[in-house]
Every structure is written in structure tokens, then in C-alpha cells.
Amino acid sequence: MAEKLGGVFSFPGTGLTVNRVGFGAMQLTGPHIFGPPKDREECVRVVRRAVEEGVNHIDTGDFYGPHYANWILQEALHPYRDDLVIATKVGAYRGGQGEWVQDHSREVLEGSVHDNLRNLKRDVLQVVNVRGLGLAEADPNFDIRPSVEVIAELQHKGLVQHIGVSNVNAAQVAAAQSVAPIVCVQNMYNVAHRADDALIEDLSRQGIAYVPFFPLGGFSPLQSDKLNAIAASLEATPLLVAQAWLLQRSPNLLLISGTSKVAHLEENLKAGALYLPPAAVETLDSIAAQDGPTA
Ligand SMILES: NC(=O)c1ccc[n+]([C@@H]2O[C@H](COP(=O)([O-])OP(=O)(O)OC[C@H]3O[C@@H](n4cnc5c(N)ncnc54)[C@H](OP(=O)(O)O)[C@@H]3O)[C@@H](O)[C@H]2O)c1
């Protein structure tokens, strides 16, 4: 099972080991990640099928919906298998119209931890990512240390096991590490958006997981003639090739592609078994280098 799902990765200093092909829960919600999903039963089936097929790393956030993604995970999977790792995020909440409000006040950070505990129905959160500011690029002026300190306090109280960071640059990862051990970093990265290449190498040397969000391009699915050509030559789909490329990119890279459809999930789970020969990797590497993000 592990080989089929890209092999395993152990979060440093945690005792938590996961298959590298995981699942992202953000798509288990309504349009613009707000409200309930169109087909809740299908979303429940997606999550159950993922775990049946060996997925044991799920990324979520109580601000997805808000609450709906976590409620669906709970409905589909509670009581949770012992080997299932659910990672969540804090540092923002949703306003009444669905707007994203970045907020790193103690009140919001602590409240988010409790929201995740309640809506996932867990006594402790295994991994909490402290989200920085910025999406495609981290805001370099944001000091992440006070937020990590708040979560580290909750760690000492036993509500949080391990801490990660998200939407951060290398300096912010180091700043977070000055407060507490960091087990994973979650940033935007895919075959066409490779700003984090150096960071991935550095984290790999430290044994820290790199978890790319928007692995398939997120709201704008990846489109590239080169991706299409490689996919055709391997009798795979372009998005499957994009996921296989990520898995081959670095052994510390964990996939959390998101979908609300069982058919798409089943396709995505094949990424771990798709080997890309060196010539294909070379062509795929040239997408970001030559054509930029919209290649
Ligand atoms: N830290 C952060 O700031 C942050 C930001 C964004 C996301 N995330 C995390 O990263 C995870 C992954 O990102 P994401 O879900 O936004 O983007 P993604 O995985 O790059 O792409 C998801 C999109 O691709 C579609 N899709 C998935 N599999 C497909 C397939 N096999 N064929 C065709 N279309 C397919 C999905 O639609 P269907 O539902 O129709 O399949 C959805 O529209 C999220 O679930 C979330 O956990 C974190």
C-alpha cells in the first residue's frame, strides 16, 4: 500500500509516519470554499474511499466552509484510525460573507484550535500549521514568532502535538524554529510555480516535510502543452503527471491534492505508481523555467 501511495514519510521527532499521497479537504465545501458542498454524500464517499485506499494524511482547516470540511471528515471517519494524521491550520477566519480575515490575535489562534478540536471531534490536534500572511508569496514583513508562541503554549497544555507553518518564506521558517520544532511547511508550489525550490532542498536536509498547496494549480488547473505531451506519451492525464512530478521532486514532499469527486480521487491516488523517466522530468522541469506560471 505504501509503495502505491508514493512511499512513506516520517515527520521529524514525532513518531508520525504517513504515506506520501495524502488528501486535501478544502474542496469539501461550497463555491469559494464557503458553505456546504453541492453533493455532501459524494464528499463523504471521497474521504472514506481515500482512507480505504491507504491515505493516512489529510490536510484541513476549520475555516474551510467554515466548519463543513471538518464536519465531513468527522462524519466520514470518526472514530479515526490510529494511523490517520489530520493536519489543520490557524491564522484566519471567515467573515459573514465568506471573506477571509487574516487574524493572528491570541483570541483567534486559540479559538481556531478549539474550533478544530470540536468540529473534528478530537481531544488533541496532531499537526497545527500557523499560517503566515500572503498566498502565492509570503509577506516578508510578517513576524510569525508570536503566533507560534501561542500555539506552542497550547502544545504544552496537550491540545496540540506538533507545529507546522504555512505561507512563509525561509526566514519565517527559521524564525518559527527559534520558538518551537517545526515538522512541516505548507506553501504554494507545483510544476509551474517553483519559487520554493531552494526551500524544499533546505527542508529536505532537515528532514522536515514540504506540503505543496495548489498542487494541481488550485482554482486555475495547470495547463501546459509540455505537460499534455508528456501525459500523452505516458498514457496518463496531465494532472496525474503533475502529481507524479511532485512526488519525484523530493522525498520530503507530501501530496494533498483536493477533490470533491470519487473519480478524481481515484485518478489522483495513482500518482504514486506513475514513474516519470528522466527525459520526461527534464521536459517538465522546463515548464516553470521557460514558460512561467501560466505555461
Ligand atoms: N495553506 C494554505 O494557504 C492553503 C491554500 C489552499 C489550499 N490548501 C490546502 O491544499 C489542498 C490542495 O489544494 P486545492 O484543493 O486548493 O487545489 P488543487 O489540489 O491544486 O486542485 C483542486 C482542484 O482540482 C480539481 N481536481 C482535483 N483532482 C482532479 C482530477 N483528477 N481531474 C480534474 N480535476 C481535478 C478539483 O475539483 P473537483 O472537486 O471537481 O475534483 C479542484 O477544483 C487543499 O485541499 C487544502 O487542504 C492550503
The CATH number of residue 107's host domain is: 3.20.20.100
Q: How close is the Cα of 278 to the center of ligand 1, in Å? A: 27
Q: Determine the pLDDT at residue 290.
A: 53
- Residue 2 in any domain: the answer is no
In-domain check, residue 87 = yes
CB atoms within 10 A of CB 138: 24
Assess if residue 26 is contained within a domain. Answer: yes
Report how far ligand 1's centroid is from the alpha carbon of 219 (Å): 7
Quote the mean pLDDT of the chain: 96
Q: Whose CA is nearest to atom 23 of ligand 1?
A: 218
- Low pLDDT (below 70) residues in the chain: 1, 290-295
* pTM summary value: 0.97
196 occurs within a structural domain: yes
The reply to whether 68 belongs to the active site is no
Q: Which residues line ligand 1 (CB under 6 A)?
A: 24-27, 59, 89, 131, 166-167, 186, 213-218, 221, 239, 256-261, 264, 267-268
Q: Is residue 107 part of a domain?
A: yes
Residue with the nearest Cα to atom 4 of ligand 1? 213
CA 204 to centroid of ligand 1, rounded, Å: 24
Q: How many domains does the chain have?
A: 1
Q: Which domain holds residue 56?
A: 8-291
11 within 8 A of 78, measured Cβ to Cβ: no
- The answer to whether residue 127 sits within a structural domain is yes
Residue 1 lies in a domain: no
**Dihedral angle at the C-alpha atoms of 24, 30, 35, 41, nearest 10 degrees?**
-80
How large is the angle between the packed helices 238-249 and 225-234, nearest 10 degrees? 90
Expressed in angstroms and rounded, the spacing between residue 190 Cα and the centre of ligand 1 is 12
